[in-house]
Amino acid sequence: MEPRATKRKAEALDVAPTLPTEPALYSGPFPFYRRPSQLGCFSLDAQRRYHGDARALRYYSPPPINGPGPDFDLRDGYPERYLRRDEEVREGLDHLLRWLLEHRGQLEGGPGWLAGATVTWRGHLTKLLTTPYERQEGWQLAASRFQGTLYLSEVETPTARAQRLARPPLLQELMYMGYKFEQYMCADKPGGFPDPSGEVNTNVAFCSVLRSRLGRHPLLFSGEVDCTDPQAASTQPPTCYVELKTSKEMRSPGQWRTFYRHKLLKWWAQSFLPGVPNVVAGFRNPEGFVCSLKTFPTMKMFEHVRNDPDGWNPSVCMNFCAAFLNFAQSTVVEDDPRLVHLFSWEPGGPVTVSVHRDAPYAFLPTWYVEAMTQDLPSLPRTPSPKD
Spatial neighbors of 181 by CB under 8 A, at least 6 apart, are: 72, 74, 244, 245, 246, 282, 290
Task: Determine which residue in the list 96, 128, 200, 244 makes contact with Mg ion, applying CB under 5 A.
Answer: 244
Phi and psi dihedrals of 378, rounded to 5?
Answer: -75, 140
Residue 276 touches Mg ion, criterion: CB under 5 A: no
Which of ligand GDP, Mg ion, none does residue 121 bind to, with CB < 5 to 8 Å depending on kind?
ligand GDP
Alpha carbon dihedral 159, 162, 168, 171, in 10-degree steps, equals 50
Stretch near ligand GDP under the rule CB under 6 A, chosen from 51-59, 116-124, 190-198, 334-342: 116-124
Stretch near Mg ion under the rule CB under 5 A, chosen from 3-11, 151-159, 168-176, 226-234: 226-234
- Residue 52: which of 64, 61, 44 has the closest Cα? 44
Provide the minimum distance between the beta carbon of 210 and Mg ion in the complex, in angstroms, as a whole number: 17
Q: Which is closer to ligand GDP, CB of 223 or CB of 275?
A: 223
Site pattern 121..150 for ligand GDP (x: CB under 6 A): xxx--x------------------------
Task: Please classify residue 309 by burial: count the beta carbons closer than 10 Å to its beta carbon, then call 0-12 exposed, 13-18 middle and 19+ buried.
Answer: exposed
Q: Which residue is nearest to ligand GDP (CB)?
A: 123
Residue 56 touches Mg ion, criterion: CB under 5 A: no
Site pattern 153..172 for Mg ion (x: CB under 5 A): --------------------
Task: Determine which residue in the list 205, 279, 321, 325 makes contact with ligand GDP, applying CB under 6 A.
Answer: 205
Stretch near ligand GDP under the rule CB under 6 A, chosen from 119-127, 142-150, 211-219, 292-300: 119-127
Residue 226 touches Mg ion, criterion: CB under 5 A: yes
Q: Are 247 and 285 in contact (CB under 8 A)?
A: no
DSSP 8-state symbol, 283 = E
Task: Determine which residue in the list 36, 77, 223, 314 makes contact with ligand GDP, applying CB under 6 A.
Answer: 223
Rounded Cα distance, 373 and 367, in Å: 10
Q: Is 382 helix (H, G, I), strand (E, B) or coil?
A: coil
Q: Are 342 and 332 in contact (CB under 8 A)?
A: no
Q: Are 65 and 77 in contact (CB under 8 A)?
A: no
Which of ligand GDP, Mg ion, none does residue 284 bind to, with CB < 5 to 8 Å depending on kind?
none
Which of Mg ion, ligand GDP, none does residue 362 bind to, with CB < 5 to 8 Å depending on kind?
none
What residues line the site for ligand GDP (CB under 6 A)? 87, 95, 121-123, 126, 205, 207, 223-224, 270
What residues line the site for Mg ion (CB under 5 A)? 226, 244
